[in-house]
Structure 1
Amino acid sequence: MSVHSGQMQTLLPRESLLWVFAAQFVVLLPHFTHLPIWLVFAWGIAVYWRLEVFRGRREIPGRVVKLVAVSLAVAGLAMTYRRWFALEPMVALLAVSFTLKNIELLSRRDALLSLTLAYFLVATLFVFDQTIPYALYGVFSLLVVTAALVAQQGSGSARAGRAFGLSAKLLAQAVPVMLVLFVVMPRLGPLWAVPQNTSAASTGISDSMSPGDFSRLSKSDKPALRISFDGPVPPPEQRYWRGLVYTHFDGRRWSEPGITGNRWAGRRSRLHREDDQGLPAVGPRYRYQVIQEASHNPWLFALATPHSDTSGVRTTAEDTLIYRNPVGSRLAYDVRSWPRESVPVQSGLSAAEQRRHLQLPKSGNPEARAWATARRNEGMDAEAISQALLAMYARRFTYTLQPPALGADTVDEFLFETQQGFCEHFANSYVFTMRAAGVPARVVAGYQGGEWVEQQEYLLVRQYDAHAWAEIWLPERGWVRVDPTASVAPQRIRDGLQSAAADEFMQDALLPLHKIAFVTRLRLQWDMINYRWYRTVVSFDAERQEGLLRRLLGEISPLRLAIFLGAPVIMALAVLLLWLNFSGRGPALAPADRLYLRFCRRMARAGLPRNPGEAAGDYARRIEREWPSLAPMALRITLAYEKAAFADDAQALKQLRRLLRTFWPLRLSPRPDTTSPTQVSVR
């Protein structure tokens, strides 16, 4: 192997290399799910190559090999990611830096640089997820990376016990500083925004709806929303969390023109209305905060007539909320909602809006069209036609999570043949038929209901609460909500899906955990812990920080903040000085040695200190010469100490402790005058 002697002197020992690779693996492990597979293999190959170099089986790569490796890595990133300025490409770039640095991991300086990069990669964990498991894993990662740093200080420090022990001490000492900074540091907005990965699979309500979509969501019990109220809580029949409005029907699928995947293409400006336009002067009926799980879509969920002051949240013309970016992690936003009857009704729909809300395919579903035409020819108005259609649902139809498949004419087959369906079947057929009768109508998708968690006072909405309903336009009332499902299965609206379809609910689950009461309670407790974690830690914003400081200080002023910050610092310094004082006294002494030192200190205060290096017996004989009246007691103490210390005599230790309770030299006998001729002992 052609390695210069200078290089050989800088090569890291085996323990240091293993610590660096262990820290890298721990930090990269949670990122393996979203990093490209080629990058994971490249990191493994780099680690293997470096270990082979240590064993002498491979050579350290030269400049040409390094240049080729860098070129391949950059080309791989360019081919994997379509845009560079996004979160996942930046994390991948850090992982690439790990990989490339392993090729030339030679000196202690290289190891420190690699471990410094590891700290940055630990921080990126919380950009992807901020749940409790991720937080615990982040702490564990910090422990491992810090231990790897400790291990670089020498051969003795590379032992696992010593490295982890010192790492734990360092992190424990940093906890008070972390807590103080968490409470008092100003909550500033981000200096720049890094886009989330918009190619991630979306979850929850989709940007379109066709028969069967919502029945698939009914198989998932994952949380979707957590809602806490500042004031009254809406009754179950009013808990309609609207998120999307569909106006276009192609014969099978409902969608909204301009909404494609995760992008609101070209219609963003038209969808937004002025935040306070048309809102009544009276106060809102409901004030609440929504914590929405990651959906990788920009639409949010709220009650009708919503308004939000949360940064980045806007209200649309369809009476829904939208966020400026796809929701890639948990998002908290505050909402106020007014009763629709208190909001002034707009004068009417424009010609363009009439066309949008009456649009139907040119052909298809002839029976539904004929039924609607017949009702209109009978002179029925919009409300009468709606009541007739709802009455037909109530008389003949069945609510089921496993409806039969429908063919080309989905509405006709559902209305006049199968008459079994889920919420999207009812909303689909209702809106189609009302439009065929000349009544503007639209489909609304979102969630309905939710489980009230009494212990923490919040509403838990799960994916199986996904729901679709309808709205029709009445000139004197505006848009009016109509839920056809309520005509067939009112218990679905009042008590939830699990009550309305008890026999079919989560029937396909591999393990029917929802039927086990203990597991259900345990999962609810875990959800409450997650809710409290998010409210207390993750969403600790400027408003909550100010409230906490006011509760602690009464009034926020520079002087009180200085005292609040200075007091913990002073206490920490005092504790540190005490610890240094006690830790500087050397290793802990045996009980017999501690007791004998107490004897020596008392003799020193009486004016007869023990000389450095003086044996216990010699000290006792010197006390006999210079202070004869204490000689018997000093001799007994010395004999008891020698038996306890050197013969491990438990009785002698008890005797030594008992003798010292009454041994106070100046109280037992005054110190003789050593300058008097009669007190001088000549031997």
Structure 2
Amino acid sequence: MLLQGSGQRGIPTLGLPIAAPPGTRLVSGYTLRADRPVNTVHSFLLRAALGHSHLGAQLPTARLMPDLNLPANDALQARALAKRWATQDPHPSAIIARALRYFHDQPFYYTLNPPRLQGDITDRFLFDTRQGFCEDYASAFAVLMRAAGIPARIVVGYMGGSWNSTLHYFTVRDADAHAWVEVWLQGQGWVRVDPTAAVAASRIEAGAGATANGGLGLSTANQGWFPQWTRALRSGWDTAGYLWDTWVVAFGPAEQRALLHRLGLKADWGALARYLAISFGLLAAMGFVWTYWRQRPPVLPLDQRLYRRYLRRLKRHGLRPLPGEGALDFALRIGRHWPAHAQAALEVARRYHEVRYAPVGPGDSLAKRLAKLRKATTAPLTTSGTSGTSGTSGKAPNTTQKPDTAIR
């Protein structure tokens, strides 16, 4: 793992760490900490167990008491709600299900800009504002669990990340930070529960990120060329940065000595640094270009480019295809709003259908059809003596003579 400098000692791990690499140590809570703050890019070789389903399955009651404590006079409404659930069905799994259903059924919203809470913040969040992000949901859920007699603790870490298909690695950023809860169940130990994921998808603030919506992000298949180009550019830059960090920044003294020994060179650190900077700088640039080239936006066929140009001209006048509306239906709708252009719009739609879908006969080449489509889509369309140029007004034609306005 390549860890960027943060000035912190905490080291994220994938799963339960079972060994501490040099310069680190295992502390309580099955977490890994560095001996000193990580201020520069550092490389760690980690070993972790992924299938620790029975973590802490056998714990004495005294060890669990801190995970049941609550402030004396706080969250009185939350305590009453949790005790009512426990009275109706004392089984821990039933109480957990009731709490998650409460977050789902009640009008809770996930937002990165919740209102500021004063006083008893747990009760105000659960019964008043009902707006917050992952830490708010984790804190409130832990209070409900403890009030019902179930040991609970808040866990912070990361969820999500982006996959780099060029060099096959994940990039996890600060934006992927997340908070959830672990509850202790008899015979099972500490079990993860994410109360944020219980919020209905329709009540997740737009742009909240993958950690908020559980990975149910919007598809990028139908996005325009600019978002795809930006994404490819960012991926290429990330690849170049990864190569630089791997082979230059995180290339420590031990790796340097091993490389010099294999090359039969003396420990000339200045020469080695210059050699590495030039060589791996070129390698990083090649990786950037390669990744960008592989993920560049696809080039559309000529017929689609011509038709999209035609749609852009109409969009400036407020007319655009509806979701699921085909070219011919769109042309008919144009004719209803702009009767003077009905024939021209139908001609464009027919030519587009011919080029895109009809088989090309020996006497009607594809080049000839494309030429007809190009001529149809570039001919000036005018709004002579008509109203409703926005496509939505539905007013009767204006009889007042007006100068023709070309759609360009």
Looking at structure 1, the residues matched to 141 and 99 of structure 2 have their Cα atoms a distance apart, in angstroms, of 7
Residue 382 of structure 1 corresponds to 92
**What is the CA distance between 1:483 and its match in structure 2?**
0.6
Q: Aligned pairs, how many? A: 251
Once the two structures are superposed, what CA deviation does each residue of 1:324-353 show, in whole Å capped at 9, x if it has no partner? 1112222221222213446664521451x3
Q: Is 2:109 aligned against 1:370?
A: no
> Which of 57, 61, 69 is the equivalent residue of 1:359?
69
For 1:395 and 1:543, the matched residues in 2 are separated by 57
Q: Given that residues 55 and 190 in structure 2 are in contact (C-alpha distance below 8 angstroms), is that contact kept between their aligned partners in structure 1? A: no
User: Contact 2:20 / 2:32 at 8 angstroms: preserved in 1?
Assistant: no
Structure 2 equivalent of residue 332 of structure 1: 43
Distance across 1 between alignment mates of 2:92 and 2:99: 11
Tell me which of 410, 415, 420 is aligned to 2:126.
415
Question: How far off its partner does 1:404 sit?
Answer: 2.2
User: 1:323 offset after TM fit, Å?
Assistant: 0.7
Match of 1:305 among 5, 10, 16: 16
Distance 1:547 1:477 in 2: 47
Q: 3-state DSSP class of the match of 1:403?
A: coil
The answer to whether structure 1 residue 449 and structure 2 residue 182 are counterparts is no
Ranges in structure 2 where 5+ consecutive residues have no aligned partner: 214-225, 267-408
Larger radius of gyration: 1
Distance 1:500 1:491, change over 3 A: farther
What is the identity, as a one-letter code, of the residue corresponding to 2:124?
E
Query: 1:412 offset after TM fit, Å?
Result: 1.2
Deviation at 1:378, TM superposition (A): 2.2
Structure 1: how far apart are the matches of 2:24 and 2:201?
33
Match of 1:316 among 18, 21, 27: 27
Alpha-carbon separation, structure 2, partners of 1:449 and 1:491? 20
After superposition, the Cα gap between the structure-2 partners of 1:543 and 1:413, relative to the gap in structure 1 and judged at 3 Å, is: same
Describe the shift of the 1:347–1:379 C-alpha distance in structure 2 as closer, same or farther (beyond 3 A): same
- 2:108 aligned with 1:393, yes or no? no
Pairing of 1:145-160 with structure 2 (within 5 A): none
SS in 1 for 2:139: helix
Conserved? CA contact 1:465–1:497, under 8 Å: no
Distance 1:479 1:547, change over 3 A: farther
1:295 deviation in Å? 1.8
Quote the Cα distance in structure 2 between the aligned partners of 1:517 and 1:364: 49
Aligned amino acid, residue 297 of structure 1: Q
Q: Secondary structure at the match of 1:388?
A: helix
- 1:598-637 map, 5 Å: none
The counterpart of 1:435, out of the listed 141, 146, 151, is: 146
Q: More displaced, 397-406 or 369-378?
A: 397-406
Residue type of the partner of 2:103? Y
The structural deviation recorded for 1:501 is: 6.8
Q: Deviations over 1:398-425 (max 9, x none)?
A: 2222222222121111112222221111
8 Å contact from structure 1 (residues 491, 499) kept in 2: no
The answer (yes or no) to whether the contact 1:348–1:475 under 8 Å persists in 2 is no
Within 2, Cα distance between the matches of 1:543 and 1:487?
A: 48
CA shift for structure 1 position 307: 2.8
C-alpha distance in structure 1 between counterparts of 2:53 and 2:127, whole Å: 39
Q: Report whether the alignment pairs 1:498 with 2:233.
A: no
**Structure 1 residue 391, shift from structure 2 partner:** 0.9
Matches of 1:492 and 1:306 in 2, distance apart? 36
Task: Please say if 1:522 is aligned against 2:224.
Answer: no
What percent of counterpart residues are identical? Answer: 37
Shift of 1:533: 0.9
CA contact (8 A) 2:109 2:203 kept: no
- Alpha-carbon contact 2:16-2:52 (below 8 Å) kept: no
Match of 1:488 among 199, 203, 226: 199
Tell me the CA shift for residue 362 of structure 1: 0.6
Question: 2:79 aligns to what SS in structure 1?
Answer: helix
Which of the numbers 170, 178, 181 marks the counterpart of 1:470? 181
8 Å contact kept, 1:308–1:334: no
Q: Which amino acid aligns with 2:233?
A: L
User: 1:309–1:334: 8 Å Cα contact kept in structure 2?
Assistant: no
Q: For residue 216 of structure 2, what is the aligned residue in structure 1? A: none
Structure 1, unpaired ranges of 5+: 1-289, 503-514, 550-555, 567-683
Q: Distance in 2 between matches of 1:383 and 1:423?
A: 22
> What is the CA-CA distance between 1:303 and the residue it aligns to?
2.5
Whole-Å Cα distance in 1 between the matches of residues 87 and 210 of structure 2? 40
Take 2:51 and 2:186, find their aligned partners in 1: how far apart are those partners? Answer: 14
CA shift for structure 1 position 480: 0.8
Q: Secondary structure at the match of 1:324?
A: strand
CA deviation vs aligned residue, 1:244-280 (integer Å, no higher than 9, x gap): xxxxxxxxxxxxxxxxxxxxxxxxxxxxxxxxxxxxx
Q: CA RMSD in A?
A: 3.1
Residues 490 and 445 (structure 1 numbering): CA distance in 2 closer, same or farther, change over 3 Å?
farther
Q: Does 1:532 align with 2:255?
A: no
Asked whether the equivalents of residues 308 and 333 of structure 1 are also in contact (C-alpha less than 8 Å), the reply is: no
**Helix, strand or coil: the match of 2:74?**
coil
Please give the per-residue CA displacement for 1:409-455, whole angstroms capped at 9, x wherever unaligned: 21111112222221111101000110111111111112111111111
Which letter maps to 1:298? Answer: R
Q: Distance in 2 between matches of 1:407 and 1:546?
A: 58
User: Counterparts of 1:425 and 1:565 in 2: how far apart (Å)?
Assistant: 57
The structure-2 alpha-carbon separation of the partners of 1:500 and 1:479, relative to structure 1 and needing over 3 Å to count, comes to closer
Which protein has the bigger helix share?
1
TM (normalized to structure 2)? 0.55
Preserved CA contact (<8 Å) 2:184 2:190: yes
Residue 326 of structure 1 aligns to a residue in which SS? strand
Residues 334-353 of structure 1 aligned to structure 2 (within 5 Å):
334-341=45-52, 345-351=56-62, 353=63
Alignment of 1:530-569 (within 5 A): 530-541=241-252, 564-565=264-265
| TM-score, length basis structure 1 | 0.34
1:299 partner SS: strand
Indicate how the Cα distance of structure 1 residues 500 and 537 shifts in structure 2: closer, same or farther if over 3 A, else same. Answer: closer
Which whole-Å CA distance do the structure 2 matches of 1:406 and 1:334 have between them?
A: 42
- What residue in structure 2 maps to residue 267 of structure 1? none
Distance in 1 of aligned mates of 2:78 and 2:141? 10
Q: Report if the CA contact (8 A) 2:184-2:191 is conserved.
A: yes
Query: Hey, what's the Cα distance between the residues in 2 that align with 1:348 and 1:501?
Result: 33
* 1:142-291 map, 5 Å: 290-291=1-2
The match for 2:388 is none
